[in-house]
Amino acid sequence: MSEILIEGRNLTKEFTAGRKKKVHAVTDVSLQILQGETLGLVGESGCGKSTLGRLLIRLLKPDSGRLLVHGEDVTDLSDKEFGKYRRQLQLIFQDPYASLDPRLCVRDLIAEPLKTWHVCRTKEELTQRVLEKMEEVGVPGEYLYRYPHQFSGGQRQRIGIARALAAQPELIVCDEPVSALDVPVQNQILNLLNQLQESKGLTYLFISHDLSVVRHISDRVCVMFLGTICEIGKTQEVFQNPMHPYTRFLMNAILPPDPHRRNDQAELLSGEIPSAVNPPSGCRFHTRCPYADERCRREMPALQDAGDGHQAACHHTMN
């Protein structure tokens, strides 16, 4: 059993949207990230993946609930006290373009976090370290003085990864890092992330709405719906034996690149995602669930273990 790197206990986060309206972004979520694993986080847009990702590395503070890093409760630490963990918990985004200052060249972009986290005595030493990072992520050293707009989307994502690596983190939250890329480029980035994990013993929280990507990269998967966890477990288990109705519907919607496997007959989810401002009572999935009954409308189901850490939150758990 691996050590627990990050643990969220009963995390809840609401945002105010307009007068008196509250968005229930994450509701009472408990989750552990194990040292060295890739935990995939899937769900449709707006279900709270990014919010949960940020809560778990304390880029956002929860309204209630606790956050533990290496077993230490860091929820109430001051930013200064939390400082020793800040470097270890990094984030990369879908659109690195938005996070890369267009006025800085690659050298300065990667030097920035290096300067923040490490002592480099001389300029030469700093440039040397930048070149090392570029090599690690597969950006040729001759591009040292190029600017973000001179790179393709895939290369910009590599630069984003290099910046995260510069802090020598333990955990990287990868928030939809390949969602804007074409498949061949997406695959290059996924291969790179896998290879970096192996060579550096990194831990990932990998957020994506694409089940096939999550299936490939994750050791464990966590499925979210409207601010809550529906199902979590080892990737193989969850994909071969989904227990929550929502997980099944997500899988029915997968479109294989093969005309012999058209999903014409698969039962599709009807209706729309309910509003996070007025989430349904009881189980948040009950308005779309074909199995919903009185109890589902009344009582929010808790995660229940079916063995080997495979858990689902449903009053009518499948099989």
Partner 1 sequence: MSGKTLEIRHLNTSFFTQKGEVGAAKDICLEVRPGQIVGIVGESGCGKSVTARSVMGLVKYPGRVVSGEILLNGTRITGISKKEACSLRGSEVSMIFQEPMTSLNPVIKVGRQVEEVLLIHKKITKKEAKKEAAKILEAVGISDVASRMECYPHQLSGGLRQRVMIAMAMICSPSLLIADEPTTALDVTVEAQILRLMKKLCEAGTSILLISHNLGVIAQVCDYVYVMYAGRIVEQGETFTLFDHPAHPYTRGLLGAAKSLRSDAGLLKTIPGVVPNLLHLPAGCSFSPRCDSCMDLCRSEMPDMLPAGEKGHLTRCWRS
Ligand X SMILES: Nc1ncnc2c1ncn2[C@@H]1O[C@H](COP(=O)(O)OP(=O)(O)O)[C@@H](O)[C@H]1O
Which residues contact ligand X (rule: CB under 6 A)?
15, 17, 23, 25, 43, 45-51, 276
Contact with partner 1 (CB under 8 A) among 255, 307, 308, 319: 255
Does residue 218 bind Mg ion (CB under 5 A)? no
Tell the smallest beta-carbon distance from residue 224 to partner 1 (Å). 12
**Rg of the chain on CA atoms, in Å:** 21
Single out the segment in contact with ligand SF4 by CB under 6 A; choices: 134-142, 151-159, 191-199, 282-290.
Answer: 282-290
Q: Which is nearer to partner 1, 2 or 152 (CB)?
A: 152
For 150, phi and psi rounded to 5 degrees? -85, 0
Judge whether 167 and 117 are in contact, CB under 8 Å.
yes
Helices (H) and strands (E) in the chain, counts: 11, 12
- Written as six digits, the tokens of 312 are 């689902």
Does residue 18 bind partner 1 (CB under 8 A)? no
Q: Which is nearer to partner 1, 123 or 149 (CB)?
A: 149
Q: Which is nearer to ligand SF4, 43 or 301 (CB)?
A: 301
Tell the smallest beta-carbon distance from residue 273 to ligand SF4 (Å). 14
Q: Give the Cα separation of 206 and 204 in Å (integer).
A: 6
- Written as six digits, the tokens of 201 are 């013993």
Does residue 50 bind Mg ion (CB under 5 A)? yes
As beta bridge partners, residue 220 has: 39, 234
Listing DSSP states for 142-209 in one string gives GGTT--GGGS-HHHHHHHHHHHHHHT--SEEEEESTTTTS-HHHHHHHHHHHHHHHHHHT-EEEEEES
Does residue 152 bind partner 1 (CB under 8 A)? yes
Tell the smallest beta-carbon distance from residue 26 to ligand X (Å). 7
Q: How many residues bind ligand SF4 (CB under 6 A)?
A: 12
Does residue 190 bind partner 1 (CB under 8 A)? yes
Q: Which is nearer to ligand X, 48 or 113 (CB)?
A: 48
Q: Which does 252 bind (CB under 5 to 8 A by kind): ligand X, ligand SF4, partner 1, none?
A: partner 1
Q: How many residues bind partner 1 (CB under 8 A)?
A: 42
Does residue 51 bind Mg ion (CB under 5 A)? no
As beta bridge partners, residue 207 has: 41, 175
As beta bridge partners, residue 221 has: 40, 233
Q: Which helix (H) or strand (E) holds 32?
A: strand 22-34
How many residues belong to the chain?
319
Does residue 168 bind partner 1 (CB under 8 A)? no
Question: Would you tell me how many other CB atoms lie within 10 Å of the CB of residue 112?
Answer: 15
Q: Which is nearer to ligand X, 48 or 177 (CB)?
A: 48
Q: Give the Cα separation of 98 and 86 in Å (integer).
A: 21
Q: Which is nearer to partner 1, 67 or 226 (CB)?
A: 226
At 57 the three-state DSSP class reads coil
Q: Which of residues 296-315 bind ligand SF4 (CB under 6 A)?
A: 296, 301, 314-315
- Residues of this chain that interact with Mg ion (CB under 5 A) are 50
- Residues of this chain that interact with ligand SF4 (CB under 6 A) are 245, 283, 285-286, 289, 291-292, 296, 301, 314-316
